[in-house]
Amino acid sequence: MIMRSFLRMGLLALVCGAIFPLHVEAAHVILDPSGADSVLLSDLLNGDVVGVVVGDKIFDDFSYSTLPGDDMPDPANINVLGFQDLDGNWGISFHGAFIDLPGNGPSDALLRFTVGVTQEAIDQGWRISDAHLFAGGVGLGEDSFLSIDESFQENNETLNVFATTLGGPLEQELSDGVDFDELYTSLRVTKDIFALAGDTNQIVRTTAIDQSFSQVQIGIPEPTTFGLMLAGLAVAGVLRRRRLEF
């Protein structure tokens, strides 16, 4: 009788599972820093992917918005890849057609995410010390302008890269970096991507936006040293109690 009840319960669970599939929590995706794999920004926005891990950095809590009717790419057309820069810093790259077409006013996109240090790296004393920004695949015609402005919620530091032909020949600065006055285990990053095409038939574009973060290791007591510190505190506590007793 008991066996039949268990069989009925098992059959009911199978039927319910077929009708009402079990909810599977989305997870962070580990990206190869060689750029061999990627995730869509749209999957990071809709929750199909919680975030990505590149080396000892976690990137999550993404948001993205554009101006109505402008030419910036849809999140389904933006790939997010992992990479490691020449100095060994871990980062992510946004690949897409960040453009503005002539004759339709400027285009603007606002991209936000959080970068953090993995718990294992935190336990080893690693902290974020500086940030680096680079724009690739940049092109523009006459009387045109492109800029990426970046800020951080935790401080007043900013980054800026740009290319302009407004009022003259091409001027550009496609990379920027900043050293933070403090060390962080996480940062909230905001990027504003702005493009304005002139009256020529040439578009303004950047197709790759790279972001990497440097880290430093703060001192952590060696296990033996830490044990001696605890033992010293315990002995001090015992001696203090004895003095109070006398």
What is the 3-state secondary structure of 137-198? Answer: CCECCCCCEEEEEEEECCCCCEEEEEEECCCCCCEEECEEEEEEEEEECEEEEEEEEEEECC
According to the model, what pLDDT value does residue 201 have?
Answer: 85
According to the model, what pLDDT value does residue 223 have?
Answer: 53
- Which residues are 135's β-sheet partners? 209
Q: Helical H runs in 20-132?
A: 41-46, 119-123
CA distance 11 to 210: 52
Say if 218 falls within a structural domain. Answer: yes
> 159, 154, 158: which is closest to 182 by C-alpha?
154
Task: Look at the block and give the residue holding tokens 């809590």.
Answer: 61
The residue range of the domain holding 39 is 28-224
Contacts of 113 (CB under 8 A, 6+ apart): 59, 60, 61, 62, 63, 188, 189
Say if 18 falls within a structural domain. Answer: no
- Strand 90-100 and strand 204-217: the pairing is antiparallel
Say if 210 falls within a structural domain. Answer: yes
According to the model, what pLDDT value does residue 244 have?
Answer: 44
Say if 244 falls within a structural domain. Answer: no
Q: What is the pLDDT along the chain (246 residues), one digit of tens a residue?
A: 444 443 444 444 333 444 333 333 457 889 888 888 999 999 999 999 999 999 999 999 999 999 888 999 999 999 999 999 999 999 999 999 999 999 889 999 999 999 999 999 999 999 999 999 999 999 999 999 999 999 999 999 999 999 999 989 999 999 999 999 999 999 999 999 999 999 888 999 999 999 999 999 998 645 544 454 555 555 445 444 444 454
Helix, strand and coil percent figures for the chain, each rounded to 5: 20, 45, 30
Contacts of 245 (CB under 8 A, 6+ apart): none
Say if 143 falls within a structural domain. Answer: yes
Can you read off the two tokens belonging to residue 199?
A: 């009256």
Contacts of 172 (CB under 8 A, 6+ apart): 138, 162, 163, 164
Say if 176 falls within a structural domain. Answer: yes
> 92, 97, 94, 55: which is closest to 73 by C-alpha?
97
Say if 11 falls within a structural domain. Answer: no
CA distance 112 to 185: 17
Total number of domains in the chain: 1
Contacts of 176 (CB under 8 A, 6+ apart): 132, 133, 159, 160, 161
Indicate the DSSP class of residue 48.
S
Say if 233 falls within a structural domain. Answer: no
pTM for this predicted structure: 0.79
According to the model, what pLDDT value does residue 226 have?
Answer: 46
Cβ 116 vs Cβ 55: under 8 Å: no
